[in-house]
Chains A and B, each alone.
Chain A
Amino acid sequence: MTEIKKMATREAYGKTLVELGKINKDIVVLDADLAVSTKTSLFAKEFPDRFFDMGVAEQDMISTAAGLAACGKIAFASTFAVFGSGRAWEQVRMSVAYTRLNVKVVVTHAGITTGEDGASHQAIEDIAIMRVIPNMTVIVPADAVETIKVIKAAAEFHGPAYIRLSRTATPIIYENENYDFEIGRGIAMKEGKDATIIACGLMVATSLDAAKQLEKEGISVKVVNLHTIKPLDKEIIINCAKETGAIVTAEEHNIIGGLGGAVAEVLGENYPVPMARVGIKDMFGESGKPDELLVKYGLMPENIIEAVKSVLARKK
């Protein structure tokens, strides 16, 4: 058996920032006393003049980033997901989204795989509360390789974005950067005819694993990496519903309001088919090892397999 290569998306973020910093002097980076954890410390070391550690003050960080962006800077502001989305929500709303300023809120430690720090530090609501803000782009890269592409793409487009990364090392599903990535366009990772699993973040790898196991049972499942939650690729969702007649979503987020919610909205209005959401079932997490938490909170291939079987049973 070949060992699965793993890397944390935050690692890829830190390295990509340094790469971008070298070619674009307008890039500035802000952090709120978590630079070592979010990996912005790599940029800080290389470009101390363009790095601002705002201390433990996330609200101030976001509005300061807005001020920098108003003067032509491309501002990357980083902290943990729970603080970047929650603590500073209204700063993101008014100072960044309403103004359509060039601020990229790149957060790490999203979801329960944040692990030992426990529920206070595990953002499970952030996709929901970010995607409801007008003008916002919300992206959840599937792995470290995709993170590189996402960060580069974010630096190139003008406007606000929320990019959600993980603390823990997650499986690498893309061998290299030689694939087409476009913000707002989902990617079919595997074809199938009986049902489609639409996933984001680390759950893309889990979904591919589930699909492989289902294949052995004679169930053919399509897998889509829907990295951009907003603007949502409605076309791919509707097409998958038409082609396979059943949809399962998988995300490391509350089943309310996140990827599953977004997909359900599209299906409900356009092409209703049997659907199931795999995610955290509207409860807070707890301390534990990431792998243990994924099992306890139902984010394993088995949970996806079960969901696929449930939608197949409901298919006419």
Chain B
Amino acid sequence: MLSTEKIKELEAIALKLRKHIIEMICAAASGHPGGSLSAADILTVLYFYKMKHNPQEPGWPDRDRFVMSKGHAAPVLYAALAEAGYFPTAYLKTLRQIGSSLQGHVDMLSLPGIEMSTGSLGQGLSAANGMTLAGRLDKKDYRVYCLLGDGECQEGQIWEATMTAGHHKLDKLTAILDHNKYQIDGCVSEIKGIQPIADKFKAFGWHTLSCDGHNMKSIISALETAEKNKGKPTMIVAETVKGKGVPFMEDKPCDFHGRAPTKEEADAAIEALCKLEKK
């Protein structure tokens, strides 16, 4: 059973991830805060509650796999890996610097714990399918998780991959849509709408679920339901807010899609996050 303490613990971790995101992107002076903040709670649940993984043995064959298909949300993944113990949190400040393993978009060869290099949108779900198929061939029990972005669903390859997962009935695959409703150029519904998004996945042979992407209980419950679903892959549409946790970023989701906060903005953001901590 999920205790109140556990929920509190996860919330505290998510807050740490958010602070890391602001600090590392500010230090790098470039990066994508909005879509990193919107995914912070989801990654917290995955790395600190749901997934079987071992920071001491990143290549453990039986580990669950996570593919960050929306590769520009690299900062939230780096923050989660650092907090989980894959590397020291002090290293986070090297984000996007020359020689750093923390590439602008995730690179599996430079950083243990990264399962697939991404950055060019649309490719991660196919790779996650491949990992799931390999697990089936090897009769392994691991699950594969894949995080998608809203704008990413405009890529044709996502639908090729969606068809593949449905066809092969990949029930060890759980995809999560970080449904924050914005992309760089504006509101997704105005640029090129993706609704009804759950119906689309359903039509391609998936189970679909929704959850509040900023509520630990809701995320956990969706992930556990997904695990019980047999014979189909599951898509969890996680309702999220771009820039979540930092009010002035939430107010300007497009501005902070791919722009780093200035030092002053970062200070204000950390202050806002500290207020959440006290609540």
Contact = CB atoms under 8 A, between A and B. Distances in A.
A67 B133 contact: yes
Interface string B148-173: 00000000110011011001000000
Nearest to A103: B130
SS class of chain B's interface: helix, strand, loop or mixed? helix
Interface in A279-305: none
Nearest to A99: B117
A64 B108 contact: no
A64 B116 CA distance: 11
Interface residues of A, number: 29
A70 B127 contact: yes
Interface string B112-132: 000111111011101111111
B120 A94 contact: yes
Most buried by A among B116, B120, B126, B156: B126
Given A57-B164, A90-B120, A98-B117, A63 B127 contact: yes
B137 interface: yes
A313 interface: no
B44 to A, nearest CB: 24
Contacts of A55: 163-164, 167
B135 A71 contact: yes
A94 B117 contact: yes
A1 to B, nearest CB: 51
B157 A64 contact: no
A60 B109 contact: no
A60 B119 contact: no
A49 B156 CA distance: 27
Most buried by A among B117, B127, B131, B135: B127
Contact of B109 (A49, A91, A99): A99
Nearest to B115: A70
Interface string A45-73: 00001101011010110111111111111
A71 B61 CA distance: 8
B130 A63 contact: yes
Interface of B: 61, 67, 107-109, 115-120, 122-124, 126-135, 137-138, 156-157, 160-161, 163-164, 167
